[in-house]
Amino acid sequence: MQDTDLIKKPSSVYDFHPLIASRWSPRAFDSKPVEHEKLQRIFEAARWTASSNNLQPWYFLVGFKGDDVYDKIFDSLVEFNQLWAVNAPVLVLAIAKTTSDKGDHNGAHAYDLGQAVATLSIQAIHEGVYTHQMGGFDAAGAALSLEIPGDFKVVVAIAMGYRAEAEILHPNLQKLELSPRSRRPLEETVFTTSFGHKADFI
């Protein structure tokens, strides 16, 4: 997989943590199960994410290939995602509680869940486990089939597992798997003085 590692290496201007640099979202997954000890550490990392008022609105429903939860998450995916996610040994729904314990609306629920998923993904790569987050799925259908309570919002589906060679994918998907990563330039992202003015320290 060394060639893929080189292809996916960020073309960054500034150095940053290698764990973050090595995180990317493959579609070629090996069917090898992820050890429970690694899953424990991955979700423990997510548990310690910062959140507004310490409400910790993140929840995760984990399906293992062959069980009912996995099948229902898989069935909710759009056809394109089903083409490659079928090999992933773990499928996860990331769910946010939209209210506080007092029943008040939590406006930070999606933001905080996003932070938890980001933390999860970095711990996962530390464990040698890759994640691929998906918006291409029927969130409402998944919530219904898996009986998610009404004050919880299914936000994203995540495929999780070990990487496989790109050759297991359809040729069209292989092109995506082996294409370089890119990001908008930092000077178009970080501003000082006024919005749109390139930050002086960039």
The predicted-structure confidence for 4-44, as pLDDT tens digits, reads as follows 889 999 999 999 999 999 999 999 999 999 999 999 999 99
Using pLDDT thresholds of 50, 70 and 90, give the confidence band for residue 3.
confident
9: tokens are 């290496």
Q: Could you give the 3-state DSSP secondary structure of residue 34?
A: coil
Q: How many domains does the chain have?
A: 1
Instruction: Map residue 6 onto helix, strand or coil.
Output: helix
Asked whether residue 1 carries a pLDDT value surpassing 70, the answer given is no
Residue 14 in tokens:
């500034």
The answer to whether the CB of 78 falls within 8 A of the CB of 94 is no
* Residue 2 predicted with pLDDT over 90: no
Q: Is residue 1 part of a domain?
A: no
Maximum Cα–Cα distance across the chain: 55
156 in Cβ contact with 117 (< 8 Å): yes
DSSP conformation class of 77: B
Residue that is written with structure tokens 């939209």 in the block: 98
Residue at 17 is within a domain: no
Beta-sheet pairing, 152-161 with 58-64: unpaired
What proportion of the chain, given as a percentage, has pLDDT over 90?
97
Average pLDDT over residues 138-162: 98
At residue 197, does pLDDT exceed 90?
A: yes
Q: What's this model's pTM, rounded to 2 decimal places? A: 0.96
pLDDT of 130 reads 98
pLDDT tens for each residue of 71-104: 999 999 999 999 999 999 999 999 999 999 999 9
Residue 138 has pLDDT above 60, yes or no: yes
Residue range 111-123: average pLDDT? 98
Q: Within a domain: residue 59?
A: yes
Angstrom distances, CA of residue 32 to CA of 97, 137, 157, 177? 32, 24, 19, 19
pLDDT of residue 55: 98
Output the domain CATH number for residue 153.
3.40.109.10
- Rounded distance between C-alpha atoms, residue 49 and residue 58, angstroms: 9
Q: pLDDT above 70 covers what percent of the chain? A: 99
> Radius of gyration (Cα) for the chain, nearest Å?
18
In a domain, 165, yes or no: yes
Q: What is the pLDDT of residue 99?
A: 97
Q: Rounded mean pLDDT of the chain? A: 96
- Tell me the β-bridge partners of 63: 91
Containing structural domain, residue 63 = 25-180
What letter represents residue 190's amino acid? Answer: V
Smallest Cα–Cα separation from 57: which of 110, 4, 132?
A: 110
